[in-house]
């Protein structure tokens, strides 16, 4: 049986955060229940159920933990009726502090959830208010404590740097406080000002100035952002967290199996509003219209809209883009086995230039970003676009 990762999108949240451009919105319990029913119908429509084994399930959002206690269990029951789960399958639920209680966490455990991902972002309450988060640092500590008491021994904490009004010192304080809790995994991202968010209206012009190297008033400077970035790796390394992807750090044996699958171009099937899938070199995505999604699911119709078949060049580009995000990089023999051509034949000139510029290194059949290459990874990855002409 082929392995197929599962992603389940739960689009609900208490309220939209000021920086968020994800497909998410507030809803009442009736809407949530109807959506869950539709999700279960969509899962049941999967045709090739006997051909795939599931190594991981990831409930993302939105805020999956906002669902009433039994809904995650109902969805997992539907998935198990449709798919074969591997015995050690990783099952993650994203949670926001303040949206979990002991009963809910215990039910997660009973239904096989074995990994939680908490969206903390900052340990500074002023910064949390700026972000528009619904919780405080104290709320997070309570939720985290309940998770530990409920038996969860694999927890990720999401953090965000380069926030409006944030200093290098306050970021260092957040890191120290989180490290004292000793989570198994930490994801640390820099804020990106996305169009269509409140932050875009407030800070887009300043963000442009900062990226031109000009002094801003509210956002940290480029130099401060770089210092936060360096501080993150230094402090986490001392405490035994290995950086295994540009923004992800884990203790030994605690890397996120599901996310590694994305970067290794493993197949995944997304269920739910706007959920994306990648199967047999086809990419497709569900409708983002909530009413249309429910209507299609209730009538037994496909919820997918956009479909794209990747050509050979696009597959090679993606192989390099995603593989180089991981610190282990790309294996040259894996590239050759997949495409029946060596990476040298396709990207020889690019590799030589990036090596000469100190952005890539090649050792023992592996191609990896250097520390400098990681700093400017967007530029490096763009070099692997193939000229169609």
**The pLDDT value given to residue 389:** 39
CA dihedral 313, 264, 7, 242 (to 10 degrees): -140
Average pLDDT over residues 194-213: 85
8 Å CB contact between 194 and 19 = yes
Residue extent(s) of CATH 3.20.20.70 domains in the chain:
2-263
Average pLDDT over residues 161-190: 97
Q: Where are the alpha helices (DSSP H) in the chain?
A: 29-44, 69-82, 102-110, 125-131, 137-149, 168-181, 198-211, 222-238, 257-263, 290-298, 312-323, 332-339, 343-356, 371-375, 377-382
The 3-class secondary structure across 150-219, one letter per residue, is: CCCCCEEEEEEECCCCCCHHHHHHHHHHHHHHCCCEEEEEECCCCCCCHHHHHHHHHHHHHHCCCCCCCC
Residues in contact with 154: Cβ distance below 8 Å, sequence separation at least 6, in sequence order: 114, 115, 116, 184, 185, 254
- Residues 208-224 as b or e (16 or more Cβ within 10 Å = b): eebeeeeebeebbebeb
Half-sphere exposure of 34 (CA within 13 A, CB side): 13
Q: Which of 171-185, 200-214, 238-252 has the lowest mean pLDDT?
A: 200-214
d(CA 118, CA 155): 7
d(CA 160, CA 87): 34
> Which of 208-212, 218-222, 339-343 is most confident?
339-343
Give the DSSP letter of residue 264. T
Average pLDDT over residues 36-40: 97
d(CA 120, CA 109): 21
d(CA 45, CA 297): 9
Supply the mean pLDDT for the chain.
94
**The pLDDT value given to residue 280:** 86
Model confidence over 227-247: pLDDT tens digits?
Answer: 999 999 999 999 999 999 999
Half-sphere exposure of 272 (CA within 13 A, CB side): 23
Residue extent(s) of CATH 1.10.10.920 domains in the chain:
313-382
Q: Which of 115-119, 155-159, 281-285 has the lowest mean pLDDT?
A: 281-285
Average pLDDT over residues 366-374: 94
**The pLDDT value given to residue 211:** 72
Confidence band of 204 (pLDDT split at 50, 70, 90): confident
Q: Look at residues 161, 172, 190 and name the one whose alpha carbon lies nearest to residue 234.
A: 172
The pairing of beta strand 366-369 with beta strand 330-331: antiparallel
**The pLDDT value given to residue 69:** 81
8 Å CB contact between 293 and 32 = no
Which top CATH class is 313-382? mainly alpha
pLDDT at 72 over 80: yes
Confidence band of 292 (pLDDT split at 50, 70, 90): very high
CATH for 2-263, options being 3.90.1150.10, 2.40.30.20, 3.30.1360.30, 3.20.20.70:
3.20.20.70
- Global pTM reads 0.94
pLDDT at 296 over 80: yes
Confidence band of 215 (pLDDT split at 50, 70, 90): low
The pairing of beta strand 155-161 with beta strand 115-121: parallel
Element (H, E) at 55: strand 52-61
Average pLDDT over residues 68-84: 94
């Amino acid at each position: 049986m082929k392995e197929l990762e599962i992603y389940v999108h739960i689009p609900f949240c208490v309220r939209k955060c000021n920086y968020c451009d994800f497909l998410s919105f507030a809803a009442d319990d009736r809407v949530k229940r109807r959506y869950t029913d539709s999700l279960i119908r969509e899962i049941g429509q999967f045709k090739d159920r006997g051909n795939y084994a599931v190594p991981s399930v990831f409930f993302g959002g939105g805020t999956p933990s906002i669902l009433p206690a039994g809904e995650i269990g109902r969805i997992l029951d539907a998935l198990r009726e449709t798919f074969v789960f591997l015995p050690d399958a990783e099952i993650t639920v994203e949670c926001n502090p303040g949206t979990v209680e002991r009963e809910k966490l215990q039910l997660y455990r009973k239904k096989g959830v074995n990994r939680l991902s908490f969206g903390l972002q900052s340990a500074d309450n002023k910064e949390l208010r700026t972000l528009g988060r619904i919780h405080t640092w104290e709320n997070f500590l309570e939720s985290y404590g309940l998770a530990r008491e409920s038996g969860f021994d694999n927890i990720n904490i999401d953090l965000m740097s380069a926030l409006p009004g944030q200093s290098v010192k306050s970021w260092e304080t957040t890191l120290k406080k989180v490290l004292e809790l000793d989570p198994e995994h930490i994801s640390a991202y820099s804020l990106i000002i996305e169009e269509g968010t409140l932050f875009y209206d407030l800070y887009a012009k300043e963000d442009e100035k900062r990226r031109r190297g000009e002094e801003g008033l509210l956002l940290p400077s480029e130099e401060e952002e770089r210092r936060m970035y360096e501080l993150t790796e230094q402090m986490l390394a001392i405490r035994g967290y290995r950086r295994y992807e540009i923004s992800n750090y884990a203790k030994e044996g605690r890397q996120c199996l599901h996310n590694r699958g994305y970067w290794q171009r493993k197949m995944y099937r997304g269920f739910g509003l706007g959920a994306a899938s990648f199967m047999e070199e086809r990419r497709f995505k569900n409708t983002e219209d909530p009413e249309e999604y429910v209507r299609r699911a209730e009538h037994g119709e496909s919820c997918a809209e956009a479909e794209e078949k990747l050509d050979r060049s696009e597959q090679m580009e993606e192989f390099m883009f995603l593989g180089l995000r991981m610190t282990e990089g790309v294996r040259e023999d894996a590239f050759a086995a997949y495409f029946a051509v060596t990476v040298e034949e396709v990207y020889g000139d690019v590799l030589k230039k990036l090596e000469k510029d100190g952005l890539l290194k090649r050792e023992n059949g592996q191609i990896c970003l250097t520390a400098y290459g990681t700093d400017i990874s967007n530029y490096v990855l763009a070099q692997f676009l193939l000229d169609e002409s």
